Amino acid sequence: MIQLTINGQPQYFNNPLNLQQLLEHMLLQNKRIAVELNGEIIPRSQFTEQTLSNGDQLEIVVAVGGG
């Protein structure tokens, strides 16, 4: 089992997964998002090859209304 911290919340997964699989699990695939993994931005083109490990910290952001 691995633990990921996503937007500050701990999430648990039974099997290792890559970033693309995580986003599909979260129904965020093909959404307008940007992802930071342990402080580094991961370009969209690398989602599939980016494996996730126990303890990884992810931030997933979107555009919202603001002034």
Footprint of other proteins (CB under 8 A): 6-9, 11, 26-28, 31-36, 41, 43-44, 59-67
Q: DSSP class of residue 16?
A: -
Give whichever of 5 and 18 is closer to other proteins, judged by the CB atom.
5
Nearer to other proteins, 52 or 60 (CB): 60
Q: Which is nearer to other proteins, 14 or 32 (CB)?
A: 32
Q: How many residues does the chain have?
A: 67
Burial of 56 (0-12, 13-18, 19+ CB in 10 A): middle
Closest contact distance (angstroms) between CB of 50 and other proteins is 13
Rounded distance between C-alpha atoms, residue 66 and residue 17, angstroms: 34
